[in-house]
Amino acid sequence: MTNNTEKANKNPEKIDKKTDLGLTAKTLWLLKNMTEAKDSILSNLKNFEKSPYFEAKKLEKWELLFKEWDVDTNIYIIKKWNLSVEKFTSVEQTETKKLAVLWKWSILWEQALNNPDAPKQTSIKALNKVELLKIDTVKSMKNFMKEDSELGMTLLMRIISLANERLNNINEELTFLFEFNNKIASLWEINRWVFPEIFDFINAMIVSDYTIFLKSHPVLDNTLTVFYDSREEDSAYWEVISFEDWTQFIPYDFLEKLKVEKIDNIVLTKLNIWPNLLGYVIYWRRQLWYSENHKKILWNFSLNIASVVKQFDIQEDEKARLRLEEKYY
Is the residue at 1 inside a domain? no
Widest Cα–Cα separation across the chain: 89
Burial per residue of 65-87, b for 16 or more beta-carbon CB atoms within 10 angstroms, e otherwise: bbbbeeebbbbbbbbebebbbbe
143 and 37 in a common domain: yes
* CATH classification at residue 100: 2.60.120.10
Among the candidates 169, 204, 235, a domain finishes at 169
The range of the structural domain enclosing residue 45 comes to 24-169
Tell whether pTM > 0.75. Answer: no
Percent of the chain scoring above 70 in pLDDT: 78
Percent of the chain scoring above 90 in pLDDT: 15
Q: What is the mean pLDDT of the chain?
A: 78
Structural domains counted in the chain? 2
pLDDT at residue 103, as a whole number: 78
Nearest Cα to 117, choosing from 134, 131, 137, 101? 137
| Distance of alpha carbon 171 from alpha carbon 168, whole angstroms | 5
* CATH classification at residue 185: 3.30.450.40
Is the residue at 41 inside a domain? yes
> Tell me: the pLDDT tens digits for 171-184?
988 999 999 999 99
State whether residue 21 is helix, strand or coil: helix
| Distance of alpha carbon 38 from alpha carbon 209, whole angstroms | 28
Among the candidates 169, 200, 215, a domain finishes at 169
β-sheet bridge partners, residue 282: 212, 268
More confident residue, 1 or 156: 156
